[in-house]
Amino acid sequence: MTIPSWRIIFFGTPSFAVPTLKGLLEGPDEVVAAVTQPDRKKGRGQKVSSSSVKEVVSQSKERGILLFQPEKIKDEIFQERLRDLHPDLFVVAAYGQILPGSLLEIPRNGAINVHASLLPKYRGAAPIAWAILKGEEVTGVTIMRMDEGMDTGDILLQREILMGDEETAETLREKLASLGVLLVLETVIKMKRGEIFPFPQDHSQATYAPSLKKEDGRIDWRREAREIDRQVRAFNPWPGAYALLDGQFLKIFKGKVREGKTGERPGGVLWVGTDFIEVGTEKGSFLLKEVQLEGKRRMSIRDFLAGHPIPVGTVFQ
């Protein structure tokens, strides 16, 4: 059986999408175009920043891949240009917008999406962080056929992985991105062979993973130490879990739960060691191990304490 080469248009924006794009570029199919979000101003200096996907396309100029950055994905001229490319398939990985029906009907074999959860769990923009926040022990990647809903399409392939006790959003994203590209390539091959058998999601079991906001990172020391630990890991590296110390933002990137010791006042410093600050919570205590004070670099507690002594009894807000 001769397996045909397909013309693929890729949709994606952040670093999570990059392994899938690179995998497709190295595969037997032709990536004729990539669609990504427009350049945006970021940071205090409002410097214009390009997406990770745009950077990959720019590095692959010899392939002649067309790049589209539409402000409005429903723009008729943009959609007509995609039609003119006669794509066989759309592959979508963390693009950042829901594709309308007028787009989904363009490719001959539809559109597939790489989603970083075991659907129908954690539909939405931030499935990786929410899996950590909720204390999941297992997560994974789902390849689904896209429809006009938010991650509601039929499941094509699905694989799970175990989550480590010290898993952060950054480490988990890397693992799931690597798994995602393998599943995409497997899905495309099986689609060509007629070996894919879609099955619908059980919508009654759906949970949601809305976008994270900076203010969501504020630590409430009245919660249990295990919950705070999950928050720190889920918000690492962005937007960062934080507390206030003498009116300044203190981002917390790494810590450790200590069972059995709880202070009288949540947020109060119970002990200061060489390489940790022990803070009381509602249940148990949390050891701060790596932090970043507002306007300073990220550093270990050992380095932080060298310039910022913290006495026992100090209260983090």
Residue 231: pLDDT over 90: yes
Asked whether 268 and 313 are in contact (CB, 8 A), the reply is yes
Dist CA 169 CA 130 (whole Å): 9
**CATH 3.10.25.10 residue spans of the chain:** 214-307
Question: pLDDT tens-digit profile of 200-209?
Answer: 999 999 999 9
Residue 313: pLDDT over 90: yes
Question: pLDDT tens-digit profile of 88-97?
Answer: 999 999 999 9
Q: What is the pLDDT of residue 263?
A: 73
Distances, alpha carbon 144 to alpha carbons 82, 90, 201, 305, in Å: 21, 12, 10, 49
CATH 1.20.1260.10 fits 7-205, yes or no: no
Q: What is the pLDDT of residue 235?
A: 97
**CATH 3.40.50.170 residue spans of the chain:** 7-205
Q: What is the pLDDT of residue 277?
A: 97
Q: Name the pLDDT band for 48 (thresholds 50, 70, 90).
A: confident
Please name the helix (run of DSSP H) or strand (run of DSSP E) that holds residue 55, with its range, or none: helix 52-58
Alpha helix stretches (DSSP H) within 72-216: 76-84, 101-104, 127-133, 169-193
Dist CA 199 CA 220 (whole Å): 41
Residue 1: pLDDT over 70: no
Structure tokens at 241: 């879990």
Question: pLDDT tens-digit profile of 246-280?
Answer: 999 999 999 999 987 777 789 999 999 999 999 99
**Cα–Cα–Cα angle for 158, 163, 169, rounded to 5 degrees:** 95
pTM for this predicted structure: 0.94
CATH 3.50.50.60 fits 214-307, yes or no: no
Region of 114 (left: φ > 0; alpha: ψ -120 to 50; beta: rest) is beta
pLDDT-wise least confident of 185-194, 213-222, 262-271: 262-271
Residue 45: pLDDT over 80: no
